[in-house]
Amino acid sequence: MVAPHLSSHPYRGATVLVIGLGRTGRAVARYLAACGATVRIAERRPAAELGDAIAELPPAVETFCGDDAAAAPATTASPAARAFAEGLLGGVSLVVPSPGVPVDLALLAIAAERRIAIVSEIELAARALTIPLIAITGTNGKSTTTTLVGEMLREGGERPFVGGNLGTPLISAVAVDEAGQATPATYSAGVVEVSSFQLEWVDRFHPRIGIFLNLTDDHLDRYADLDAYGETKLRLFARQGPGDVAILNGGDPWLRRHAGSLAARRIWFGEGEGVAIRADAAAIRLRLDDRDDEVYPLQRVSLAGAHNRENMMAAIVAARTFGVAAPVVRRTLESFRGLEHRLELVRERGGVRWVNDSKGTNPGAVIKSLEGHSGDVILLAGGIEKGGDYGVLRAPVARAVRHALVFGAAKAMLARTLADETAVEVVDSLETAVARAATVARPGDTVLLSPACASFDMFRDYADRGRRFKALVEALP
């Protein structure tokens, strides 16, 4: 999907349709209104469910909320839904869909038919920014790596913007003056977590340094197969040239097969032929451009596990190729404490560790979280399945999990999948799962919330789920 060409500043006087009134949609609307555009927002949810979201918008922004026609797929849209979409697009010269908006939406199909430009928020931002970007994608580890790279740059004297899919939309980094023109950057660099959804509508998005951490089954409710999912993520590198850097996981077989077409300088980390940086439990070792090895000891580093060693390797290469000094990188590794909701120790109670891994929303993330355990895990899992093969959980669960408590929309599927590997108990809620785990766990165990699923059946998002889990655990006597 290639977005039609836009001139560098076409927004003053333009009419723009933003689809979705989440955090990204609101940030885009504020930016475009500041640029002098007429902004419309289409949102499937009714205004009563949106809280203060509408109040955050500039007064002139038009909102169209609560009409299911805004979410109608192109293939099944009724005549009424199509007429609604055509009306919304009247006079529109640009459409900006939020990341969660499906690509098969009738609104987008009609916009494409009319040759209306469609761009994602990160594309919109990148066109206005002049600072170098470091962009991180992959199935798992994006948020940790993004935050760690940002800290390394900050400790190295840069003024980095850190955000993207991680939280603060990249468009928030663009300052606009009273004439609606982008002003000199407040930041010296941008470090951006990028999802496949955000890459569906990019054209000129061009990071100086791109990182692809890994690829495992995820979002296969949206993509036809793993190749379609991975090829969308590879769009992050489409505009790179020989002067740019692509940092890739050498131990990922899909990346090894598909990275040959990248024009950037490729630097491999982890395992396999030609890697520039390797790790074991004691240290990470980097060699770039025939220099002497740089050694990053791990004795005082709090990030644990093989998956975090991969994240750290990618972050080290990004920071060093950006120009951060090696001693600064070492110091940052030792001071970094990790992220909320990603293997976060909540409490030790009666010899039992309670760990919040609510961001583990796919089987690959759960597999990584179970590494290093052998029969001592009480696993809490469930929510809305995201497609793909959940059977890959069987062997890791058989090795690491003593008892599984499953809940949410996917509980029956998870129970069937894991029934032959460990003791499985189906429960109605996270509250019940925590209460049962407190009964089942014994000293030396780890109670791990690593759901392998999306959260939207029972929670606002993974963070809401993680906060609820922490509150329940802290409330245990």
Name the stretches of the chain with pLDDT < 70: 1-10, 68-70, 178-184
CA 81/CA 78 separation, integer angstroms: 5
Please give the pLDDT value at position 5.
Answer: 38
CA 52/CA 317 separation, integer angstroms: 41
Among residues 142, 258, 411, 470, the one annotated as catalytic is 142
Phi-psi label, residue 440: left if phi above 0, alpha if psi -120 to 50, beta otherwise: alpha
Q: Is 142 a catalytic residue?
A: yes
Among residues 140, 165, 249, 362, the one annotated as catalytic is 165
CA 467/CA 344 separation, integer angstroms: 11
Asked if 169 and 129 touch (Cβ cutoff 8 Å), the reply is: no
Question: How is residue 73 annotated by DSSP?
Answer: B
Please give the pLDDT value at position 6.
Answer: 39
Report the Cα 260 to chain-centroid distance in Å: 24
CA 200/CA 191 separation, integer angstroms: 19
Please give the pLDDT value at position 2.
Answer: 38
Please give the pLDDT value at position 371.
Answer: 84
Please give the pLDDT value at position 412.
Answer: 96
Q: Is 165 a catalytic residue?
A: yes
Outline where 376-441 has alpha helix (H): 394-400, 411-418, 430-440
Q: Is 219 a catalytic residue?
A: yes
CA 238/CA 258 separation, integer angstroms: 13
Please give the pLDDT value at position 234.
Answer: 96
Q: Which residues contact 248 (CB under 8 A, 6 or more apart)?
A: 211, 212, 255, 259, 266, 267, 268, 269
- 278-303 burial, b if ≥16 CB within 10 A, otherwise e? bbeeeebbbeeeeeeebebebeebeb
Please give the pLDDT value at position 66.
Answer: 79
Please give the pLDDT value at position 65.
Answer: 86
Among residues 140, 206, 214, 219, the one annotated as catalytic is 219
CA 83/CA 72 separation, integer angstroms: 11
Asked if 254 and 230 touch (Cβ cutoff 8 Å), the reply is: yes
